[in-house]
Homo-oligomer: A and B are copies of this chain.
Amino acid sequence: MVDLKTGSGKDKKSFLKVLTDVEKGIYVEKWGISGDELEAGDGWRIEKCRLYGGLSDGVDVITVDNGKLSFVVVPTRGMGIWKGEYRGTFLGWSSPVNNVVHPCHINLEARGGLGWLDGFNEWVVRCGLGSFGAPGVDVIRDNTGGEKKVILTLHGRIANIPAGVVKVKVGLEPSFELGVEGVVHERTMFGSNLKLTTSITTTPGSSSLKISDAVENLRGVPDEMQLLYHCNYGGPFLERGTRFVAPIRRVAPRDSIAAEGVDGFDVFGPPESGFAEQVYFMELLGNDDGRTKVMLVSRDETKAVSVSFSSKELPFFTLWKNTAAVEDGYVTGLEPATSFPNLKTFEREKNRVIKLKPGESYRAEVTLSVHLGKDEVQEACYDIEKIKGKTKPTVFKEPIRDFSPV
C-alpha cells in the first residue's frame, strides 16, 4: 500500500473511519479522534455526535477542529457546514433560526416553495442539485411520459437530504490532512438521480478549509444539474464599512431594489431594520487556470474572509446583501454557482443549466479562508488584484436581460 521509506505523495497513508453507511448497516452515534491518538500532528480533534431534543433531534454533526480553525459539518443536512470559528472568531452568521433543524421538520413546498428558509442558518450551504434559485413553476415529464407542472422550491432539495455515507479520513503523513467525506443522493423514481460526493478538508493549524464536490448523474438518460455554494457571513467580518473585493468583469443588480444600491454595491451598511435584500449578479475574471477569489474585508482592513474557486467550474457569482437588523439575520452571501439563482426555467433559456450525460460528473471546489492582520489581508487582496489586472469592471446600473428576467 504505502512505501514508508519513500513517503512519496501518491503513497501517503491515511486513517479511515466509516461513521455511516446505510447500505452496509454502519452507523456510529458518538465518536472522536485526535492527533495524539494517531500520532499524526497535534492540537487537532474530530468529533461526531448526534443531537437530541427540539428541532435538532436526530441530527448528526461532526466537528473538525484543526487546532486553529474549527467547523461543524452536518451530514443530516446534506453535508453543509453549520458554523465555524478561527482563533476565537466566529465564522458564519446569526440566523433567526438559530439551531440546526432536522429535515423532517422542513416542508420545502410550504408557503409557495419557501420552506427551505425554515432551516436556513448555515455558514456554507449547497443549493441544488436538481434546481436552485427562486421558487416557481417548471414543467417535468412524469411517469406516464406526459408533461406535468411542478413547483421548484427555493434552492432545491440537497440541503435537506441526509448523507447515506459519512467517513472521516486523516492523512498519516504531513500535512496530516483532516477530512470529512460524504455521499448524498438526491433521487426519485422517474426523476433526478444525482449523487453528490463531497470531501471537506483542512490541515492542522490552517486558516482554510476546502470543499471538493463531484455530482454524478446516475440516470440512464441525460439530466440537468445546478449547484450553488451559499457562503454566508455575519459579524464580525460583516460590519458597517466592510467591503466586497473581487475581480469583477461585469456586475448588474438583480432587480429594482438592488438597482437603488448599485453605486455602493461593494460596501456594506450597518444593520438596518426592515432592510430588503439587495442582490448583485456578476461574472468574475479568473487567472489562466480559471482560479478566482472573492473577499470580504473589514473597514480597518485587519480581518477578512475569502472564497476561492474556479470560474470555469462556477462561472456565475451572486452577492447577497441582507444587512437587516441583527435579530433578523444581518448577513451577506458569497455565492459562486453554475448559474444565477433565478428560477431554473429562466436559467435554462439562457443555457446556464448544466446537462450531464448518464454517468457524467461535474466537479467543483471551493476554498474558504480567514485572513487576520493587515499583512494577511493585503496579501489576499493582492491575489485578487493580480487576477483583475487592468480590467475595469462593467457596472450596470439597472438589471440586464442577460442576467435576470427583467
Mark A residues whose CB is within 8 Å of B.
20-23, 25-27, 29, 51-58, 60, 95-99, 102-105, 107-112, 114, 117-118, 120-121, 134, 140, 142-145, 148-151, 161-166, 187-191, 193, 218-221, 255, 257, 271, 273-274, 276-277, 279, 324-329, 358
Contact = CB atoms under 8 A, between A and B. Distances in A.
Among A108, A142, A166, the one with the most B-chain Cβ atoms within 10 Å of its Cβ is A142
Integer count of this chain's copies in the complex: 3
Nearest to A98: B23
A212 B117 CA distance: 30
B53 A164 contact: yes
B161 A143 contact: no
Contacts of A21: 53
Q: Is the contact region of chain A dominated by helix, strand, or loop, or is it mixed?
A: loop
Contacts of A114: 142-143, 148, 150, 188, 190-191
A274 B144 contact: no
Among A143, A274, A279, the one with the most B-chain Cβ atoms within 10 Å of its Cβ is A143
A274 B358 CA distance: 11
Contact of A218 (B26, B57, B96, B189): B96
A23 B99 contact: yes
A378 B167 CA distance: 50
Contacts of A162: 53-55, 57, 105
A281 to B, nearest CB: 13
